[in-house]
Structure 1
Amino acid sequence: MTSSVTPVLSVRDLSVSFRTDSRTVHAVDSVSYDLAAGEVLAVVGESGCGKSVTSMAVMGLLPPTARVQGSIRLAGRELAGADDRTLGRIRGKDIAMIFQEPMTSLNPVLTVGRQITEVLRRHQGLGRRAAAERAVELLGLVGIPAPRRRAAEYPHQLSGGMRQRVMIAVAVACDPSVLIADEPTTALDVTVQAGILEVLQSLRERLGTAIVLITHDLGVVADLADRVLVMYAGRAVEQAPVDELFASPRHPYTSGLLGAVLRPGGEGKRRLPEIPGLVPSLDAQPDACTFAPRCAYADDVCTAARPAFATLAAAHETACRHPLPTTSEVTP
């Protein structure tokens, strides 16, 4: 999708494959999106659809077995194909990532304050004392009580919610223009989750940070996102403003995801609808609709060629031969 606003991050035709001794896995296939300053783009889809791989490619954190094709431009700078030294100067400073599991991402033998000061000293050249004071400020910014005391503690001494807030403090220490949040509220209770989302919203409003939010939780998407990119089997299948997508999903896969969400005031123990079948193997990407085997609307046209992205309304695109009607189209 092309925006009229100059994007801070522009991804074009991004493809990622992994070589093994016996096969090649095509994890991401020609994904494109733009991200404007201060915007939140949610990337959603079932597990194994390529959401995290897409963002790891943007960060330049994929293993040597990965082959990355396409363009990744951050504020006009091309990151695809950049060497480790170049990416090392950018990661943490201009673009940062909140990883899914903070306990495995934070260093267990360093205090949380030390882990923040290392980023500040490397990218901003602060002295030891100035960096330590700034670390305390950042812990307070992300809502950690008694931040000076907590800065001297180790990750195992903190709760899961606090560790996630520390990860956010590390990620935003240098005021990056782009923040990638990979399942930032996974395994957190509702109260802690709300606090994390409040922190992200505050960062966006106060610093103008653009956020790529990877999540399975469509409730989180509704609360925080401006736009949604729906991925299936490594491909983008729909992209739209959040309100429009929730009101009138046009791709059958998006409709299936939204239909499986439990809503307040639902009919007691009524069984939620589910999408039949499983995400296909990514050994080979067919020149056809990958969702066709699970789609009630699929026909020979869907299996004959890959559907291209088509603009159905302002800023609403989908890759489907038989897009679902809008709410207005089905209203008498």
Structure 2
Amino acid sequence: MTQPVLSVRDLSVSFASDTRTVHAVDHLSYDLHAGEVLAVVGESGCGKSVTSMAVMGLLPSTAHVTGSVRLGERELAGADDRAYGRIRGKDIAMIFQEPMTSLNPVLTVGRQIGEVLRRHQGLSKKQARARAVELLGLVGIPAPAQRVDEYPHQLSGGMRQRVMIAIAVACDPTVLIADEPTTALDVTVQAGILDVLKSLRERLGTAIVLITHDLGVVADIADRVLVMYAGRPVEQAPVDELFAAPRHPYTRGLLSAVLRPGTPKERLPEIPGLVPSLDAQPDACTFAPRCARADDTCTGGRPGFKAVSADAGADAAHHAACWHPHTLQETAS
């Protein structure tokens, strides 16, 4: 196995106020390799976006971050804004969740794409504009020479999302973080956005962290899946193995709630209860209050994040944090 392009180790993020402390991410670790798509999934409030913002160094001053974030050989944890400014957009970039609030409404899309090119590649204004036209064509926007001089409000939601992708990949970053890139888009536009991401991976070898609620998107594009719950990793596996044999009850619950063609028109099963408050991270399984398999062991100690197969080695691909994971026989039923 080659060295990871991004390595996150024991990442924890908390936010303190006058009245309480919220533990948004609790000891999360993962590796990302060149050309790989890692999907991060889980309910809202499970820490997915906070994790990505911590990796990008975009959290507010109220955040307390511990652990290690290595981009290649560079340690990013604890880096100041100046150090992050040299790599954001160049070596690591992010597609934000809502393009209309992420793009500047009073600047043309060409100028916004050109800004990162002029900063990191030293292009002239004319060169940056020409390259912006090329990038708009790369991400599938029709008539790019015309669109480059338009403003965000003149574009559709799908086109704005493509502009965000063009900005993110302008300098051929090693790592691209895509935070819900297909949210609120219709299925045809969503398919186009996913095709763009696949093309970028194939042409540029970009490694992608894809944050999403849509398990259909995960099945379509991801190589590996990391499932988060209440700020903690609960399962990680290659995408085919996770869909075929989910071991953690939470993962099984998420997959059971997906509507599949040909299934009877009945009420979809749901996971009872809600994601807990993150004021505290107990020394126990945080999913236990919602889990039908929970017992005193689950509430008495935190399960380790370990290989689901007892005879698997240190490089095992499938891990879960559960005292009573589902067996292969159960997942087949």
TM beyond 0.5: yes
Match of 2:308, SS? strand
Choose which of 4, 8, 27 in structure 2 pairs with 1:7. 4
Task: Give the drift of 1:326.
Answer: 1.3
Choose which of 180, 191, 194 in structure 1 pairs with 2:191. 194
TM-score, normalized by length of structure 1?
0.97
Choose which of 280, 287, 290 in structure 1 pairs with 2:286. 290
* Equivalent residue number for residue 138 of structure 2: 141
- Counterpart of 1:322 in structure 2: which amino acid? H
Structure 1 residue 279 corresponds to structure 2 residue 281: no
* CA displacement, residues 31-60 of structure 1 (integer Å, 9 cap, x when unaligned): 000000000000000000000000000000
Choose which of 308, 320, 323 in structure 2 pairs with 1:321. 323
Please list every run of at least 4 consecutive aligned residues from structure 1 whose deviation after the TM superposition is greater than 6 angstroms: none
Task: Give the drift of 1:210.
Answer: 0.2
* CA displacement, residues 88-113 of structure 1 (integer Å, 9 cap, x when unaligned): 00000000000000000000000000
Choose which of 61, 73, 81 in structure 1 pairs with 2:70. 73
The whole-number CA distance in structure 2 between the counterparts of 1:211 and 1:329 is 28
The whole-number CA distance in structure 2 between the counterparts of 1:167 and 1:252 is 36
Matches within 5 A, 1:44-193: 44-193=41-190
Match of 1:279, SS? coil
What is the alpha-carbon root mean square deviation over aligned residues?
1.0
The whole-number CA distance in structure 2 between the counterparts of 1:280 and 1:43 is 19
Matches within 5 A, 1:252-263: 252-263=249-260
- Counterpart of 2:275 in structure 1: which amino acid? V
TM-score, normalized by length of structure 2?
0.97
Choose which of 198, 220, 244 in structure 2 pairs with 1:247. 244
Contact 1:111 1:154 in 2 (8 A): yes
Match of 2:26, SS? strand
Where in structure 1 are there 5+ consecutive unaligned residues?
A: none
Identity %: 81
The whole-number CA distance in structure 2 between the counterparts of 1:327 and 1:118 is 55
Match of 1:67, SS? strand
Task: Give the drift of 1:5.
Answer: 2.3
Match of 1:205, SS? helix
Contact 2:306 2:319 in 1 (8 A): yes
Task: Give the drift of 1:327.
Answer: 4.4
Choose which of 303, 309, 312 in structure 1 pairs with 2:299. 303
Contact 2:43 2:213 in 1 (8 A): yes
Contact 1:247 1:327 in 2 (8 A): no
Contact 2:117 2:123 in 1 (8 A): yes
- Counterpart of 1:179 in structure 2: which amino acid? L
The whole-number CA distance in structure 1 between the counterparts of 2:183 and 2:329 is 32
Which moved further from structure 2: 73-82 or 310-319?
Answer: 310-319
Where in structure 2 are there 5+ consecutive unaligned residues?
A: 310-315
